[in-house]
Amino acid sequence: MTELSFIHRYEPATDPTRPPLLLLHGTGGDESDLLGLGRTISPGSALLSPRGKILENGMPRFFRRLAEGVFDEEDVRLRANELADFVAEARRAYGLEAPVAVGFSNGANIAAAMLMLRPEALSGAALLRAMVPLSDAPKADLAGKRVLITSGAMDPIVPAENAKRLAASLSESGAEVQHEILPTGHNLSQTDLQLMVRWFSR
């Protein structure tokens, strides 16, 4: 594995027609967490999977939070830029196009922040159980970028209106947003998988 600014796993593409994926784990996950998911939803894609640098009670995350659902927005900005720099590094090291982010929970929130702050870093994103990461995000130009958001109707962590606000904000910035609300909680379901497989095959 090449030494870069984040501990990470990398799997080269076996199908060059598939976009590279940036896999971003949830709280307490690591760089191996979403590799199986990546292989399932976009077989043959190159997989780039970093480990979050923040520890909360020993659990890796991508940015600090002040409480459940309350983000340290200064840290969100810092970490989103740091992760976008890592993506640029990895693209040079591995010869990749701009990846599609696939993020779960905390990983989805940092991916949403990257879309708002460093839109050039990503070609699109699948945001699983995402929330609005920044209350005063700058207006990004997301024209031509596809974004899938999947939310759980019974999610105790992400309020429904918050997920809707995120979808609206990304749409207003020009992204082609598909927002699906599923009859589930915060955990991923088979329906999430099926939606992502269909979304990636478009």
Name the catalytic one among 105, 151, 169, 173.
105
d(CA 191, CA 97): 28
Q: Does residue 186 have an active-site annotation?
A: yes
Name the catalytic one among 155, 169, 173, 192.
155
d(CA 196, CA 190): 10
**22 and 102 Cβ atoms separated by less than 8 Å:** yes
Q: How far is CA 146 from CA 33, 47, 54, 114, 131, in A?
A: 24, 18, 28, 14, 17
d(CA 146, CA 174): 9
Q: Any idea of the CA torsion for 92, 125, 80, 181, to the nearest 10 degrees?
A: -160
Amino acid found at 130: A
Q: Does residue 105 have an active-site annotation?
A: yes
User: In the chain, helix, strand, coil percent, each to 5?
Assistant: 35, 25, 45
Catalytic residues: 105, 155, 186
